[in-house]
């Protein structure tokens, strides 16, 4: 390929071409690529009625109070579970065209992808390894793709969510539900 693509619209089109084979499936305008920055529950398409759930390790109370929850990835749980941790805030990353994904149970944590180990973890520091954006998967579902690496959040049936190469599968498609929809 002759042209050198800069970040922005061309990056999104190239990413979609890699995931979908063409840019025809991209229905949102570039400037509308995010939902409102607010609070959502996040349901997976492949795992009916299961929500992305933040789980703290048993030896930690919060990001300021001890314990080391950075090694604990998010998990999938049934929507009816009573353990909480199923509400998420999309925070705008001011200098980037991306967002941070924070659990409202403890907003000191940010979902981060570590390319050297290929795992997800919780971060309470800085870096562009914690930036994500959404690609339209149709029917009000989205892929949650890493800003810098070609990986998407991938559900694994009541096991920790993983970061996996974006392949367009239903286990990488997520629906962001507001309070009314998730009730």
- Residue 179: phi, psi to the nearest 5? -55, -45
Instruction: Return all residues near 180 (Cβ < 8 A) that are at least 6 apart.
Output: none
CA nearest neighbour of 175 among 47, 12, 56, 84: 47
Give the angle subtended at the CA of 79 by the CAs of 75 and 85, to the nearest 5°. 50
Q: For residue 62, give the 3-state DSSP assignment.
A: coil
CA nearest neighbour of 25 among 148, 166, 161, 132: 166
Q: Is 148 exposed, middle or buried (0-12, 13-18, 19+ CB in 10 A)?
A: middle
Residue ranges of the chain with per-residue pLDDT less than 50: 1-33, 61-68, 183
Question: Which pTM value belongs to this model?
Answer: 0.71
152, β-bridge pairs: 145, 164
**pLDDT above 70 covers what percent of the chain?**
59
Domain architecture of the chain: domains with CATH: 35-182 (2.80.10.50)
Tens digit of each residue's pLDDT (9 = 90 or more) over 23-65: 333 334 444 445 677 889 999 999 987 888 887 655 554 444 4
């Amino acid at each position: 390929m002759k042209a050198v693509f800069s970040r922005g619209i061309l990056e999104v089109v190239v990413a979609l071409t890699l995931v979908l084979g063409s840019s025809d499936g991209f229905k949102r305008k570039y400037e509308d690529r995010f939902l409102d920055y607010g609070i959502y529950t996040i349901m997976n398409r492949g795992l009916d009625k299961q929500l992305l759930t933040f789980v703290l390790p048993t030896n930690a109370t919060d990001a300021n109070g001890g314990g080391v929850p950075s090694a604990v990835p998010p998990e999938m749980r049934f929507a009816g579970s009573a353990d909480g941790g199923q509400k998420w805030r999309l925070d705008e990353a001011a200098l980037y065209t991306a967002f941070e994904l924070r659990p409202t149970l403890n907003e000191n944590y940010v979902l981060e992808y570590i390319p050297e180990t290929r795992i997800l973890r919780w971060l309470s520091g800085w870096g562009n390894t914690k930036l994500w954006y959404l690609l339209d998967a149709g029917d009000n579902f989205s892929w949650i793709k890493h800003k810098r690496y070609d990986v998407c959040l991938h559900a694994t049936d009541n096991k920790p969510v993983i970061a996996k190469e974006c392949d367009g599968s239903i286990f990488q498609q997520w629906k962001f539900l507001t309070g009314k929809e998730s009730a």
